[in-house]
A and B are shown apart, each in its own frame.
Chain A
Amino acid sequence: MPFVAHFLIGKFLLAMTAQIAETLFYKGEQLSMCTTPLDDYFAFGGEHPKFESNCTALWRGYVGTWEIIGGRLYLVGLEGTLESGDDASLASVFPDFPDRVFGHWYSGTIRIPQGKLLEYVHMGYGSTYERDLFLEIEKGAVTSTRLRQNGINESEEAPEGYGIGGMTVFHRTPKNGEDDT
């Protein structure tokens, strides 16, 4: 039973909320990025501090800020909370590079949803928007870009830009009997 509970919670329930996007600065614009390149860094054996997940919309426990400079992908900021209770920053993962880190480990496609919401899916990055801008990355360098039109939402009330519909925030466990404020 504990195994089944762990399996279900680990692999299904955790994904039952739309996830907060990463931030990307690209061509002078601040965009929402539905790809998490830092996951690959951790998967490849990079230093992985334990982040505290304090809501169902951010199971990874951090939000990275990225920037494309000269056709290359850089991690320029990191926000979150470590399990120790300290604030996470870029230096928590890359102590020698606290300001900017070249994302050379990442090869894959970065998805940037744009326009109005077409279909909301309360899971992962499953929602569909009018357009998707894809950046193809090879070892941290942008090799190509393409724009996919997914449809048009003619409703004026339709939300514009990436967003999440709701989340559950976990109450943080007070340490040493102190009250959590």
Chain B
Amino acid sequence: MIYLYWYLGVGVCIVLPFVVRSRILKKDDLPTANDLLEALQPERKSLWYRLRSNVLAPLLTGLLVVPFWPFVVYLKVQDMVLGKHEASNLEEPKFAVVRADLLERVSIAEIEQCERVFDPLSAVPDLPFGHLNTAWRKFLEDMTPDAEMWTFSAHWTDWGSKELRRGYVMVRGNVIGPYFLTTRKDVDEGDVAQVGTLRTGIPGWLQRHAD
């Protein structure tokens, strides 16, 4: 019997730090996250919900975990070993131009001549890239004498939505630098299959329509 007490005692000693840690993390949690969750689910504000979520659920979980503490230790070790790797997988992939996306080398003068915007109602400044001229000039601040400017066309999967992206990118030797986007539009599956440079992402209609 004494061995059982020892076994359960070890379980309690293991569970307690987890409980304390989770309480501390909850305090550090983003306040906007709680606000949003409460806004989306108003019942979260009720006393019964708070009692269930803050007292009953942790208590029952703790009681369940005590007899199975070796399994908790196993999960924790696994989490520590694989945790970093899994966290990096959760990060949203970031678009970048690759060498296969490059089309042709162009000069800044050619670009600025080609990207001048005309409007019969004069609802755009008579400058390269029109309303985006400030962004273009800011982009050019990174241009160095050794850099080349190239046009690019790439496909990108943004939240599951396949997009065609076009624009201009700075290339320094073998290094592909910052880019200036001029087109971003959804494409059909067939078009994407022909071009090829597909990258993984997360459902885009969510972001596009609800951001």
A and B together in one complex: yes
Residues of A within 8 A of B (CB): 1-7, 9, 11-17, 19, 34, 36, 39-41, 43-47, 56, 59-60, 69-70, 72, 74, 94, 96-97, 100-102, 104-105, 107-109, 123-126, 139, 168, 170
Q: Chain A contacts of B205 at CB under 8 A? A: 124-126
Task: State which residues 184-208 of B face A: CB under 8 Å.
Answer: 184-186, 202, 205-208
Q: A2-B28, A102-B124, A125-B209 are in contact. List 17 more A-B contacts (CB 8 A).
A: A3-B87, A9-B32, A12-B206, A15-B209, A44-B132, A44-B181, A44-B184, A45-B132, A45-B180, A70-B120, A72-B119, A100-B123, A102-B123, A102-B130, A108-B185, A124-B205, A168-B40
Give, as a whole number of angstroms, the nearest-CB distance from B124 to chain A.
4
The distance in angstroms between the C-alpha atoms of A33 and B135, with both chains bound, is 27
Q: Is the CB of B131 within 8 A of A59?
A: no
The count of chain B contact residues (Cβ–Cβ below 8 Å) is 46
Q: Is the CB of A1 within 8 A of B117?
A: no
The chain B residue sitting closest to A105, CB to CB, is B132
Task: State which residues 160-193 of B face A: CB under 8 Å.
Answer: 180-186
Task: Please list the 3 inter-chain residue pairs (A to B) with the smallest Cβ-Cβ separation, ordered nearest first.
Answer: A45-B135, A124-B209, A15-B210
The distance in angstroms between the C-alpha atoms of A116 and B34, with both chains bound, is 37
Q: Is the CB of A15 within 8 A of B206?
A: yes
Give, as a whole number of angstroms, the nearest-CB distance from B111 to chain A.
14
Selected A-B contacts with CB under 8 Å, 14 pairs = A2-B25, A9-B33, A12-B206, A15-B210, A44-B135, A45-B138, A72-B121, A102-B124, A104-B131, A105-B130, A124-B206, A124-B210, A168-B40, A168-B42
The chain A residue sitting closest to B185, CB to CB, is A108
Is B108 at the interface (CB under 8 A from chain A)?
no
Q: Is the CB of B206 within 8 A of A5?
A: no
Is B113 at the interface (CB under 8 A from chain A)?
no
Q: Chain A contacts of B117 at CB under 8 A? A: 102, 104, 139
The distance in angstroms between the C-alpha atoms of A111 and B183, with both chains bound, is 18
Give, as a whole number of angstroms, the nearest-CB distance from B122 to chain A.
9
Q: Is the CB of B36 within 8 A of A101?
A: no
Residue of A43, A56, A102 near B39 (CB, 8 A) is A56
Give, as a whole number of angstroms, the nearest-CB distance from A35 to chain B.
8
The chain B residue sitting closest to A108, CB to CB, is B185
Q: Chain A contacts of B123 at CB under 8 A? A: 74, 97, 100-102
The chain A residue sitting closest to B159, CB to CB, is A11
Is B142 at the interface (CB under 8 A from chain A)?
no
Q: Is the CB of B182 within 8 A of A14?
A: no
Q: Is the CB of A94 within 8 A of B121?
A: no
Is B37 at the interface (CB under 8 A from chain A)?
yes
The distance in angstroms between the C-alpha atoms of A161 and B25, with both chains bound, is 46
Q: Chain A contacts of B136 at CB under 8 A? A: 45
The chain B residue sitting closest to A72, CB to CB, is B119
Is B146 at the interface (CB under 8 A from chain A)?
no
Quick one: given A5-B30, A96-B125, are A59 and B135 in contact (CB under 8 Å)? Answer: no
The distance in angstroms between the C-alpha atoms of A41 and B184, with both chains bound, is 10
The distance in angstroms between the C-alpha atoms of A103 and B144, with both chains bound, is 31
Give, as a whole number of angstroms, the nearest-CB distance from A59 to chain B.
5
Give, as a whole number of angstroms, the nearest-CB distance from B103 to chain A.
17
Quick one: given A60-B211, A108-B186, are A123 and B132 in contact (CB under 8 Å)? Answer: no
